């Protein structure tokens, strides 16, 4: 299967790296971790694939290990948050976590998705000069809200 050809640790490692532009896409790796979690969620929903559950949990554990006290895990150092890919990465990871939580019932993924979404909302409403420069963030937050709402079907 397609999922078998992807090393989950490649995606888990993306949360250990902090925004080194000199080495290419290091700061964009959390985006791909979020996509991978979405893939694992889909495989779990469609096939009840145990590898998808196990591999997704490896990425969830990496996010949990690397989340900071504010709820940030987007791959950028503090001085570059809101300036490069930080909100983009954060929103893709939050979406992946929320998808994985909704599909599998994983409480840790749900808790991390909510903490990460809270970080985005706090940063975007903090009165800084940053604005929503992409429709990705608000649309991801809307979808995340629908998936994590206590009223949502599980």
Q: What is the pLDDT of residue 139?
A: 59
Model pLDDT for residues 92-119, shown as the tens digit of each residue? 999 999 999 999 999 999 999 999 999 8
Q: Is the pLDDT of residue 153 over 50?
A: no
Closest CA to 137 of 68, 81, 86: 86
What pTM was estimated for this model as a whole?
Answer: 0.81
**Whole-number CA gyration radius for the chain:** 15
Model pLDDT for residues 20-36, shown as the tens digit of each residue? 555 555 567 888 999 99
Model pLDDT for residues 37-84, shown as the tens digit of each residue? 999 999 999 999 999 999 999 999 999 999 999 999 877 778 777 776
Q: What is the pLDDT of residue 132?
A: 46
| Residue 67 near residue 117 (C-beta atoms within 8 A) | no
| DSSP state string for 102-148 | HHH--HHHHHHHHHHHHHHHHHHTSS-S----STHHHHHHHHHHHHH
Q: What is the pLDDT of residue 147?
A: 60
Q: What is the pLDDT of residue 111?
A: 96
């Amino acid at each position: 299967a397609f999922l078998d050809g992807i090393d989950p640790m490649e995606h888990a490692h993306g949360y250990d790296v902090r925004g080194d532009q000199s080495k290419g896409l290091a700061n964009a790796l959390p985006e791909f971790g979020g996509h991978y979690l979405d893939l694992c969620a889909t495989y779990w929903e469609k096939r009840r694939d145990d590898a998808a559950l196990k591999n997704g949990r490896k990425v969830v554990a990496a996010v949990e290990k690397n989340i900071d006290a504010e709820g940030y895990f987007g791959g950028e150092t503090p001085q570059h948050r809101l300036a490069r890919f930080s909100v983009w990465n954060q929103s893709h990871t939050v979406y992946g976590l929320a998808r994985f939580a909704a599909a599998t019932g994983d409480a840790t993924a749900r808790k991390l998705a909510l903490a990460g979404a809270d970080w985005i909302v706090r940063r975007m409403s903090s009165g800084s000069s940053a604005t929503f420069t992409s429709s990705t963030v608000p649309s991801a937050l809307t979808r995340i809200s629908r998936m994590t709402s206590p009223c949502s079907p599980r």
